[in-house]
Amino acid sequence: MEKMMSTISCWMESPRHTLVSTAWGRAEEVPILIIEGFLLFNYKPLDPVWNRSYFLTIPYEECKRRRSTRVYKPPDPPGYFDGHVWPMYLKHRQEMEDITWEIVYLDGTKSEEELFSQVYEDLRQELAKQKLSCKASLEGSSE
14-64 pLDDT, tens digit each: 776 655 555 555 556 677 778 888 778 778 888 777 888 898 999 999 999
- Shared domain for 72 and 8, answered yes or no, is no
**Residues 123 and 60 grouped into a single domain:** yes
Q: What is the pLDDT of residue 84?
A: 96
Looking at the fold, whether 39 and 81 belong to one and the same domain comes out as yes
Q: Are residues 12 and 58 in the same domain?
A: no
Domain count, the chain: 2
pLDDT band at 141 (very low <50, low <70, confident <90, very high): low
| 3-class secondary structure per residue, the chain | CHHHHHHHHHHHHCHHHCCCCCCCCCCCCCCCCCCCCHHHHHCHHHCCCCCCCEEEECCHHHHHHHHHHCCCCCCCCCCHHHHHHHHHHHHHHHHHHHCCCCCEEEECCCCHHHHHHHHHHHHHHHHHHHHHHHHHHHHHHCC
Do 11 and 54 belong together in one domain?
A: no
Same domain, 61 and 92: yes
Q: Are residues 29 and 40 in the same domain?
A: no
pLDDT of residue 78: 93
- Looking at the fold, whether 50 and 72 belong to one and the same domain comes out as yes
pLDDT in tens, 78-102: 999 999 999 999 998 898 888 767 8
CATH number at residue 38: 3.40.50.300
Its pTM stands at: 0.72
